Chains A and B, each alone.
Chain A
Amino acid sequence: MIGVELRLMLRRRRVWLCWVLLCAIPALVAVLLAVTNLAPAPGQGGAFLSAVTSDGQLFPAAALALVLPVFLPITVALVSGDAVAGEASTGMLRYLLVRPVGRLRLLTAKLVSVGAFVLLAVVFVTITSYIVGVLLFGFGADAAVGGAGGITSLSGVVLTPLQLAGRTAATVGYLALCMLAIGAIGLFFSTLTDSPLAAALGVLAFVVVSAILLPLDAAAGIRFYLPTTHWLAWIDLFRDPILWRAVREGVFVQLGYIVVAFGAAWANFATKDVTS
């Protein structure tokens, strides 16, 4: 079942279009930075963007920060919102359920498929932006110390290529988890409606509300539970020593969303009358 869903996901052109667009947006920013040599001042623009012109190896971090707030959630909303509602809108869902497959297994396969999508999306953005960053901006001066591949951490300590690879892998895993939480919410919405667009818009509305509440002092009591609160915690992986607290809290909250949203999807879908 999982293999079927994964093959189905990989055969969809819109999935590949999402990945291409996610990789193209940071590449466009990199080209503009390289052509104009106008990097934003520290603290302005996207995270790490001010530092990429002096070390192209920081561009994957900057690229992930660029796609994280808007483009990545949009693509995850589209794919996860389509997971069940897409089948229902094309009339395939009832035929799918005629097979001797439990609804829980079907939902699990759908969630794994969404997870594979977000993981591959983050991996593709990381790899393409590393190549684009190094090609356009080169290795930084830290190559003299850490060898080609070393970068300066936020704390000033030079990270070796091995350390950089480890921290980048941790970033990829963390962001994939954050997006999987959004995907799980999308899966739940997808079981509520037969319209993939409505489900996707529901996810985006959830993300927007979370982003709106985030800076409000009045929402301080629930800030910890907002998913977007923890999206930038991975930046602490680029300090030395690593500051794990925010990452740890982020993992806890995102896992909580995955469990609760997937549970809600199961609770709703398990007894739902499927008519289309």
Chain B
Amino acid sequence: MAGQRFSRRWLLVAAGAAAIVGVSAVQLPAAALDVDAEALRRCIRAEVPPYVGYAEASGRLGLPEIPQLESVTTLLTTTTRIRSYVAGADRWRADQLTGALGDSERDTYHLGAAEYVWDFGGNQLTRVLGQAPLRLPRAGDLLPPDLARRMLGLAPGDPVTAIPARRIAGRDAAGIRLVPTDPDTTVGRVDIWADPTTALPLRVEIAARTGPTLLVSELLEVTDGPPDPAVLRPVVPPGAGAVTASAADLSGALRDLRAPPAPARLAGRARLTLPSTPGSDLPGVGVYGTGLAGFVLIPTGRDVADRAVDGATAAGGTAIPVPFGRAARIGTPLLSVAVRSTGRRGSLLIGTVAADVLQQALLELPARGRPS
């Protein structure tokens, strides 16, 4: 009798534990949705539906630490928590919940032509003037709607097909798959699930030609409709700094005023013409290739290049024999990096192309930083 009581009690506890785990783990299957993949792609690219959401983006790109680009490598190698308030294409706010313990926040407000950045760690609100022709990726770029629009925009002619629907953020989301046809790109597929009613992308998965998904971004909570206007107004709390800076000055690693001009062609690809406004030039920076098979050339100082070469080598990269200085390359399934340190300068190449392409481009760069 005692043994039976013992068994019944433990059975009850086990059933309770299983029920608690089950409640949180069970995900309802999505209803079958019949959508026109091409039509959904057009809607996703054309519309910026208003919403309030919370997203998590997880990158598994296996990139080494690259000096001055830590914020970028962090975005692509860890999980980023992002809260977004979107009233329209030109009125939005994206909060990156930062800090090793999550005890900081970096909020970007985009209000028409003006942009503001609140940084709790720095206790400062920065008003950003103008627009740089190129900027480093930031957390807001990883939000599923933004990431989906960007990826679809880079491959407008590539075919998309419908994939099974998924249950995301409490709603059935229709799925489409983009498979790039460009043989030079490392991107193998881009899967996008969107609300079939509003065309709001809820989840994006990016994978290389082979292997598992390497970048996943999903809206875990979403509310349709515009946010409270009050949350779109940046404030300067007492005691905090308020500064104004040009977008070009905030380009960080991209801004090196002493850099030589970027070559017109690298690895058989022409340099793209970047939009330029007075004072926003990024000397030496070049974007090569089109669509999803592109790479960017970033001039750096020698110290940064040396540390990047060391980092790439330590992370399993390959040394590249060069006439002057040192060079190395590292190829992850989705993103490749090549770096060279020579004389007093260095060059960094990074893009969604094979590491061989970046090596060829690096070897074509003029030695000792002289323009070709």
B101 lies within 8 A of A141 (CB): no
Q: Which residues of A contact B12 (CB under 8 A)?
A: 263, 267
Q: How far is the CB of B306 from chain A (nearest CB, A)?
A: 25
Per a CB cutoff under 8 Å, which of A65, A156, A217, A243 touches B235?
Answer: A156
B239 lies within 8 A of A140 (CB): yes
B101 lies within 8 A of A252 (CB): no
Q: Which residues of B contact A48 (CB under 8 A)?
A: 103
A236-B20 contact in complex given A154-B120, A155-B118, C-beta closer than 8 Å: no
Q: Residue-by-residue, is A38-54 near B (CB-CB < 8 Å gives 1, otherwise 0)? A: 00001110111011001
Q: Which residues of A contact B103 (CB under 8 A)?
A: 43, 47-48, 65, 154, 232, 235
Q: How far is the CB of B226 from chain A (nearest CB, A)?
A: 15
Does A97 belong to the interface (CB within 8 Å)? no
Does A157 belong to the interface (CB within 8 Å)? yes
Q: Which residues of B contact A21 (CB under 8 A)?
A: none
Segment 1-16 of B: residues with Cβ below 8 Å from A: 2, 5-6, 9-10, 12-13, 16
Q: Which residues of B contact A267 (CB under 8 A)?
A: 6, 9-10, 12-13
- Closest residue of B by beta carbon distance from A269: B9
Q: How far is the CB of A199 from chain B (nearest CB, A)?
A: 18
Q: How far is the CB of B268 from chain A (nearest CB, A)?
A: 37
Q: Which residues of A contact B102 (CB under 8 A)?
A: 47, 232, 235-236
CA distance A156 to B106 in the complex (A): 10
Segment 120-144 of A: residues with Cβ below 8 Å from B: 140-144
B99 lies within 8 A of A43 (CB): yes
B237 lies within 8 A of A157 (CB): yes
Does A259 belong to the interface (CB within 8 Å)? yes
Per a CB cutoff under 8 Å, which of B5, B24, B100, B104 touches A252?
Answer: B24
B99 lies within 8 A of A47 (CB): yes
Q: Which residues of B contact A224 (CB under 8 A)?
A: 24
Per a CB cutoff under 8 Å, which of B121, B122, B238 touches A145?
Answer: B238
Q: Which residues of B contact A43 (CB under 8 A)?
A: 98-100, 103-104, 121
Q: Which residues of A contact B322 (CB under 8 A)?
A: none
Q: How far is the CB of A184 from chain B (nearest CB, A)?
A: 12
Q: How far is the CB of A274 from chain B (nearest CB, A)?
A: 14
Does A24 belong to the interface (CB within 8 Å)? no
CA distance A241 to B93 in the complex (A): 13
Q: Residue-by-residue, is B250-277 near A (CB-CB < 8 Å gives 1, otherwise 0)? A: 0000000000000000000000000000
Q: Which 3 A-B pairs have the closest CB atoms?
A: A141-B239, A42-B121, A47-B103
Q: Which B residues form the contact surface with A (CB < 8 A)?
A: 2, 5-6, 9-10, 12-13, 16-17, 20-21, 24, 54, 60, 83, 95, 97-105, 107, 118, 120-123, 125, 220-221, 231, 234-240
8 further A-B contacts with Cβ under 8 Å, apart from A43-B99, A155-B105, A241-B231, are A140-B239, A141-B239, A157-B235, A225-B21, A232-B101, A245-B54, A260-B13, A271-B9
Listed by A's residue number, 17 A-B pairs whose Cβ atoms lie within 8 Å are A43-B99, A43-B104, A47-B99, A47-B101, A65-B103, A140-B238, A152-B240, A156-B118, A232-B101, A232-B102, A239-B95, A241-B231, A260-B17, A264-B13, A267-B9, A271-B6, A271-B9
